[in-house]
Amino acid sequence: MASPADGQSNEVEYIDPVEVRTNKAGMAAHHICSGMFVVGRDYERIASQVVAQDIRRFEIFDWQDDFEYEVNWGSRTASVWGDDIPRQSAEYNGDQGCTILPEGFDDVTFEPVVVPRRIPDPSTTMWPMGDMGAYHETMPREVDESKLNYALDWVMGQEEHNTRALVVVYKGKIIGERYASGFSRNTPQISWSQGKSVASALVGAAMESDHLQVGLDDPAPVTAWHKGDDPRREIQMRDLLQMSSGLDFLNWGLGQSQSWTDENEHFRIYFEGIDVYTHAIEQPMDLGHGEQMRYRNSDPLTLSFILKQAAEARGEEWLTYPQRLLFDRIGARNFVLETDAWGNFIITGYDYGSAWDWVRFGLLHLWDGVWPSSRGGPSDRILPKGWVDFVRSPSPGEGGQNYGGLFWLNLGESLPRAPSDTYYAAGFMGQYTAIIPSYDMVIVRLGPSPGNTTQFLSDIIGEITGAISP
């Protein structure tokens, strides 16, 4: 989320109210569609609850008084419209989730596919690949169970934060968890920008598997950037992973006068049916590469584009590739990566994962990118040696102590109650997977919070680690 970016003025001559309202309706249509069909609340009487619980209650989404909505069960679409704006629709496409349909489109342009989950039966497979033995048989002696339960209950009791899932893993196994009514450990929930950290891991896994034959310091292999004297040819993979590409990609966040306009290049992908990869890679530069970290969707979207090109060059099916390359190998079976109408992953925010999916993702990083065998065989190195050290190393320029390789850092003590070695995947409205090496711990928290979520995460970590004796 951002204030006016890079010193840009927040004053504009004119903002079209129809454009603003249309874009608000587009995002609302997406949320209704995904809330019904991806999260799984897919029966008619729940539609009003999705609107009430996931959209209308939050001022930042600015649901309009005249908005109407409809869920079409036959076409699996959700539509929103108002007095002066056309119907905005999102379509459910199975394992590709919900897609905002561009103006004039009545369907997506790609053929949706089923994403196979090639994972052993979790009920008969040992943790962490499966669910057997996920909990400590006896609580570790250094854990004060009463303090831990108090901490978990305190988190769930902060009603303004709407926590829907909370899981704590200590020394490799779960020591506590809580879920709101209607949600479970396997419920996929919108994870927003936690997906950026997934993009980072996919790049690392593709490099380790030799599917992506570039290194961190190599130029990003975007063909359009390597024509003539285009300055973008200097952008390195490292720059994209550290959000320091220098691409001109305005981020007005939400809450600014331009937020719901097409000028908001960062957020536009969430409310308008556009080709998100083209939108990212066609941007010019307005800053030298590697000079300064700036929070922009352009960089992880470009990485996703690069991965798509590499996968398809190998004859791989792109829409199933992340599951095969990463999720299957860590036992994660509920991830849904949504796409635009052209089959491009909007991995910077329209990604859904369950609490236990995110726990496994956190453990992969806690364990230095190596996944243990559940059947007594050799461990699986999924991320390159040294990759985890890279993602938790500071990015360049201002704010570098707080951001690494598509993960947030606590080196600048933005989380005052958390250990300084904490690093975490973070998403809008308080979606967090915190990895705390000094405590051998992963904490996952999901749910739509309108409050100060950074302070909330700090308090969550402080309360939970306070239950463990050194």
Domain ranges across the chain: 5-100, 113-250+276-470
How many Å apart are CA 71 and CA 52, to the nearest integer?
A: 15
Where are the strands (E) in 123-197, listed by range?
Answer: 165-170, 173-179, 189-190
pLDDT in the model for residue 452: 84
pLDDT in the model for residue 4: 37
Residue 45 clears pLDDT 80, i.e. is over it: no
Terminal-residue alpha carbon distance, the chain: 36
Q: What is the mean pLDDT of the chain?
A: 94
Q: Does domain 113-250+276-470 have CATH number 3.40.710.10?
A: yes
Residue 6 clears pLDDT 80, i.e. is over it: no
pLDDT in the model for residue 41: 64
Q: Rounded mean pLDDT of 59-85?
A: 95
| Nearest partner of 464 among 401, 412, 422, judged by Cα | 422
pLDDT in the model for residue 43: 55
pLDDT in the model for residue 451: 79
Question: What percentage of the chain reaches a pLDDT higher than 70?
Answer: 96
Residue 426 clears pLDDT 80, i.e. is over it: yes
pLDDT in the model for residue 1: 36
Confidence of residue 399 (pLDDT cuts 50, 70, 90): low
How many Å apart are CA 433 and CA 455, to the nearest integer?
A: 15
Confidence of residue 7 (pLDDT cuts 50, 70, 90): very low
DSSP lists the bridge partners of residue 143 as 468
Q: Rounded mean pLDDT of 221-227?
A: 97
pTM of the model: 0.96
Residue 335 clears pLDDT 80, i.e. is over it: yes
Rounded to a whole number, what is the largest CA-CA distance in the chain? 66
pLDDT in the model for residue 13: 67
How many Å apart are CA 9 and CA 74, to the nearest integer?
A: 46
Which letter does DSSP use for residue 123 in this model? G
Q: What is the pLDDT of residues 110-158, one digit of tens each?
A: 999 999 999 999 999 999 999 999 999 999 999 999 999 999 999 999 9
Flag the least confident range among 39-43, 76-80, 119-123: 39-43
138: tokens are: 């006896």
